[in-house]
Chain A
């Protein structure tokens, strides 16, 4: 029987990487949609909203991996893996996504750590998504210069990003993780064990 260890096993690494690839594909599809919306909103100056709408999809991979593996550094490492894969895939934002990834992952990781990596229920998941949202928003100040926007606009951006995070990275991820565990597919991982 496998015990919960803090080291990363090969199959866990590949699993996280595969999950990132799956979400990478999904993300591309979602981004097409978002780009349409963003372009439509451009004349009104609301274009960044399009980006914010799908922001939650970015760290779905991290929260899902954190949820399935439930070990320290799961969220941050999966985000880094996700960003490296994004770079490999030639994401136009380039090398910066790695930094962004670390910061987003840290946001989720902090929440998991605050729960001592023992509690992994719905509330924790939502908080983790929110955590990632918050840190990424702060990062956006640095990276994209959100500081230049007016406060009401910023508030709107933040709220939309938060909702997006909670829906995609919180709700859908939890549902998916639970669904997978219910199907008995996660027997080798922490989530499956805690579901029995």
Chain B
């Protein structure tokens, strides 16, 4: 999985997700989720602990959708059999179906997402977008440069919190008090970076050598066809 071209992998998975969203197919969703997660688990070099931890958010989301579907599903008529009593309400089979549909979809998306996130490298993705999908270099390198600053910005977020604390001020997570210094810093940084990149000779339309080439191979096309073909098959056959 890791060797596949990230750009094409991304495309494949997007198409797959779109296909899945055309209809509500509980069994297919669950199957997709299970397969993806298994594959991700088995891919060598994946940090399994982190994978498990990352599964928590979307499992929670799926659960949330499940109960939401139960309580507020529009399929609530009096069809079907009363399955259980939940609080004051009586649930019907159709409610259960709704809930399963919603939550299984979340699981499927989550599976696909995890499959991508844990087997791909950000750097290679950007390079692939630039090389295979004709993303202009200024966008590619601009995004990449900012992305590399993510841990620094994260630290700064906490430093700003601490600095304000030292002055005796509390600031919420989205409060402008935190945003201002960080945005000011972001602006300065972006100007410095742009200047620095240009002084290293970065020019939009000048011919560039390629140092980090990301190849595309047969495997990528096969993956695209195979994954989506399987899903289509599942949609019609299952």
Q: Across the A-B interface, how many residue pairs have beta carbons closer than 8 Å?
A: 226
B24, closest chain A residue (CB): A145
Chain B 158-201 interface residues, beta-carbon cutoff 8 Å to A = 173-174, 176, 178-180, 182-184, 186-187, 189-191, 193-195, 197-198
Cross-chain contact of A88 among B21, B105, B122 (Cβ < 8 A): B122
Chain A residues with CB under 8 Å of B176's CB are 172, 175-176, 179
Tell me which residues across on chain B come within 8 A of A8, comparing CB atoms.
Answer: 138-139
The answer to whether A15 and B102 have CB atoms under 8 Å apart is no
Of B74, B143, B178, which one neighbours A148 at CB under 8 angstroms? B74
**Which of A22, A39, A51 is B153 in contact with, Cβ under 8 Å?**
A22
What 0/1 pattern do residues 83 to 116 of A give for CB contact below 8 A with B? 0110111111111101100000000000000000
Report yes or no: B186 in contact with A21, Cβ–Cβ below 8 A: yes
Please determine whether A180 and B174 come into contact, CB atoms closer than 8 angstroms.
no
- Tell me, rounded to whole Å, the shortest Cβ–Cβ distance linking A87 to chain B: 7
Q: Determine the residue in chain A with the shortest Cβ distance to B111.
A: A94
A residues near B118, Cβ cutoff 8 Å: 90
Which of B54-62, B210-218, B230-238 forms contacts with chain A? B54-62
Q: Is the CB of A95 within 8 A of B116?
A: yes
Residue B80 lies at the interface, judged by CB distance under 8 Å to chain A: no
**Interface residues of A, count at CB 8 A:** 69
What's the dominant secondary structure at chain A's contact region? helix
Asked, given contacts A14-B142, A14-B145, whether A142 binds B21 with beta carbons under 8 Å apart, the answer is: yes
Task: Using A42-B60, A92-B114, A180-B184 as known contacts, say yes or no to A11 and B190 having CB atoms under 8 A apart.
Answer: yes
Question: How would you classify the secondary structure of chain B's contact residues: helix, strand, loop or mixed?
Answer: helix
Q: Is B219 an interface residue (CB 8 A)?
A: no
- In the assembled complex, the CB of A189 is this many whole angstroms from the nearest CB of chain B, namely 9
Contact with A along B104-119 (1 / 0, CB 8 A): 0110011011111110
Interface residues on B, range: 35 or more
Are A44 and B149 neighbours in the complex by a CB distance under 8 Å?
A: no
Is the CB of B30 closer than 8 A to any CB of chain A? Answer: no
| Contact B57 A92, beta carbon cutoff 8 Å | yes
Query: In this assembly, does A150 line the interface, its C-beta being within 8 Å of a C-beta of chain B?
Result: yes
- Contact bitstring B48-84, A, C-beta under 8 A = 1, else 0: 0000001001101101110111111111100000000
- CB interface residues, A 10-30, toward B, < 8 Å: 10-11, 13-15, 17-22, 24-26, 29-30
A94 touches B68 (CB 8 A): no
Whether A144 pairs with B106 at a CB distance below 8 angstroms is yes
Q: Enumerate 15 A-B pairs (CB-CB under 8 Å) in ascending A order.
A: A10-B198, A22-B186, A38-B61, A44-B67, A44-B71, A87-B10, A92-B57, A93-B58, A94-B13, A96-B14, A96-B113, A143-B21, A143-B109, A150-B73, A176-B176
Known contacts A15-B186, A179-B180; 9 further A-B pairs (Cβ under 8 A): A11-B191, A15-B190, A88-B143, A94-B110, A98-B10, A144-B102, A150-B74, A153-B68, A185-B187
Query: Which residues of A line the B interface, CB within 8 A?
Result: 8-11, 13-15, 17-22, 24-26, 29-30, 33, 35, 38-39, 41-48, 50-51, 57, 81, 84-85, 87-96, 98-99, 142-145, 147-153, 168, 172, 175-176, 179-180, 183, 185-186, 188
